[in-house]
Amino acid sequence: MSKRSDLYLYLISHNRKDIKTHTYIGCVEDFVNRLNQHNGLVAGGPRVTRKAAGDWEPVLLIKLPKDSKLDSKKIKKEWKSSSRGLESRIRKGFALACKYKLKVFVMKKKKQKVPVLDILDDLWKEDRVVADKKVWNKLLNVD
């Protein structure tokens, strides 16, 4: 019997105007390898992300611990089906992480301006964001 590893639900994006698909949500054990696949650095990966290969960057990762009883496919479907566009998908990702009490990882340095994540810029303390409930409510409800 194989031992399950942690899973990562992830949101990646690019800012190329010539390609319709600007965000992608996936689920994988080895996120670094999967990002390399999206960017065409290693073989494999979904066809839908190949046109923007080389331009994909991580936006948000949600960690599902290996001992979790949560259904990753159900959470991924919930994330994808109820959000459109980068800002909406970021907010939905944070909301799902809160709902299921999961750890969230965001990039401290971003290539593109993402207003919903700009809320966090001044809250970084070393390698993590320190925020109170008011800040998180603002993050989840920004328009």
The stretch 86-92 carries a mean pLDDT of 90
Alpha carbon dihedral 72, 130, 12, 138, in 10-degree steps, equals 90
Query: Residues of the chain with pLDDT > 90: what percent?
Result: 41
The confidence score (pLDDT) of residue 28 equals 96
Helix-helix angle 86-100:72-81, to 10 degrees: 140
